[in-house]
Amino acid sequence: MSFLEGFIDCHTHLADSMFDHDIDMVIENARKSGVVAALVCTITPRDFSLVLRLCEQYSDILVPCLGIHPVQRDCNGEQRCVTQEDLDEVVAEIEKNADKICAIGEVGLDFQPRITPETSHKDTQKSVLKAQVDFANKFNLPLNVHSRSAGKPTIAALKEFGARRVLLHAFDGRPSTAMEGVAEGYFFSIPPSIVRNEQMKLVKQLPIENMVLETDCPGLGPVKGERNEPSNIQISCDYIAKIKGMTPQEVKRITSQNAVNLFPKLKMILK
């Protein structure tokens, strides 16, 4: 199967503990569902070794993305805003593995009020994002970007910081804001949760040339609260096809080509 005949899942968290007990089966189900490649993203510093190890174990289908997410967890497991110290902890690992990774990610902004109650929290997130855009430019890597409750500020920041190749995953902003990203050549990935949220207008307005597929597993599945897997990526494909008046085969082919254009290192594992 060539990559144009298979699915590329552009944003997953397969190193999450929810997959610890059956990762072999999850990968096998992905293969059976036609997934030929999946990008595995980090969130916290702890994830780096887990993601690298997992992608080495399944090197024919998984590729790593290393970055620090705007939302971290404190010692009690409660969510908190990222700090400069979180980034400092992983700078050496990003530089050491720059030749192995497919993108810098998951990075971005998250302006939910409980995460950024103060302006200083937003400023810190922007500073951490800028540093990671600089990494991406230094190593000629794309960015895998989070923008929850911060669609417009994220796109503005990416433009300001000189981001070159960008994937905005699970975008929850307005379609008009997304089109500002399209004007910059950014891509947008659509998860299976599209079947139960209010983003139909986004799918309708985005050009297919700027779209790719994702699952964001274990989150953002078709059924809220149930663990999501890469095998659900067909759901995103079918939904886009329906809204765009295309065949699922056309959507699969175009989004896979888009993914390889955005993430050239995928060619290392794709035939």
Phi, psi of 123, deg, nearest 5: -65, -40
The whole-number pLDDT of residue 2 equals 67
Q: Is 62 helix (H, G, I), strand (E, B) or coil?
A: strand
The whole-number pLDDT of residue 130 equals 98
What sections of the chain are H helices per DSSP? 23-32, 47-57, 84-88, 91-96, 119-138, 151-161, 175-183, 200-205, 233-244, 248-262
The whole-number pLDDT of residue 3 equals 67
**Which residues neighbour 155 within 8 Å (Cβ) at sequence distance 6 or greater?**
147, 168, 173, 177, 180, 181, 184, 186
- Domains, in order of start, for the chain: 3-268 (3.20.20.140)
Single-letter amino acid, residue 98: A
The model's pTM is 0.97
Written as tens digits, the pLDDT of the chain (271 aa) is 666 789 999 999 999 999 999 999 999 999 999 999 999 999 999 999 999 999 999 999 999 999 999 999 998 889 999 999 999 999 999 999 999 999 999 999 999 999 999 999 999 999 999 999 999 999 999 999 999 999 999 999 999 999 999 999 999 999 999 999 999 999 999 999 999 987 899 999 999 999 999 999 999 999 999 999 999 999 999 999 999 999 999 999 999 999 999 999 999 888 6
Report d(CA 60, CA 50) in Å as an integer. Answer: 17
Report d(CA 38, CA 58) in Å as an integer. Answer: 10
Q: Is 203 helix (H, G, I), strand (E, B) or coil?
A: helix
The whole-number pLDDT of residue 1 equals 63
